[in-house]
Amino acid sequence: MAVTSTIEWTEATWNPVTGCTKVSPGCAHCYAETFAERFRRVPGHPYERGFDLQLRPERLTQPLEWKQPKLIFVNSMSDLFHEDIPFDFIRSVFDVMVAAHWHTFQILTKRSKRLAELAPKLPWPKNVWMGVSVENQRWTCRIDDLRTVDAAVRFLSCEPLLGPLRLDLTGIHWVIVGGESGHRARPMRGDWARDIRDQCQRATVPFFFKQWGAHDEHGVRVGKGRSGRQLDGRRWDQQPSQRYSSRG
């Protein structure tokens, strides 16, 4: 049975790798690390080693066992392009995605340089979407690396959004925006989210507003789940369709 996800922009998660290391400000309060470290040294638990990077070859074929088509977030508990993951293992993950053609897979990385380096050596079927995280203007450089990847859908996850963004959306097919959750969450200003939405509308790029996070649009801490998902009185749940696969 697929692992159903509560992440608003996907349906299930698949974690052939778990654990990661921090590379930029968006990693500071990583939800996956917080979750995994709760179980460090718990004998027999899948996260007995906490958030240490671990390959999970026994999970590689899981999507082949899930017969109903699903939108699947790959490595919600890691980064597939982490520098310590061997290329042969990454290639094995891609081979499974090719074989499980009835699913749509969403990969998200902060390691865009390694993505760009390895992408020409990997298959890119239409059911594999590739995204990069962009938390502030400093890391918009990841978008240039993403543009070099021959994925049917290239997307941005601006979460946690930590500042205003001026985006070049050429060759980008989807943008997700969200604020940070957790007891140490940093607030997201409403005008940052609105400006990205407006840039998407001008570029005819689908916009998905995931959440405000632990604070409302005025920066007031309101607690988990209370800030909601509405931006200017409505939900923004736009998603790409395969018609975007031919865009440059």
Using CA atoms, how far apart are residues 104 and 26, in angstroms rounded to an integer? 26
User: pLDDT digit string (tens) for 63-112?
Assistant: 999 999 999 999 999 999 999 999 999 999 999 999 999 999 999 999 99
- Among 206, 205, 174, 178, smallest CA distance to 192 is for 178
Residue 136 is predicted with a pLDDT of 98
Using CA atoms, how far apart are residues 183 and 8, in angstroms rounded to an integer? 20
Using CA atoms, how far apart are residues 194 and 111, in angstroms rounded to an integer? 27
Residue 224 is predicted with a pLDDT of 64
Q: pTM score, two decimals?
A: 0.94
How sure is the predictor about 245, in pLDDT bands with cuts at 50, 70 and 90?
Answer: very low
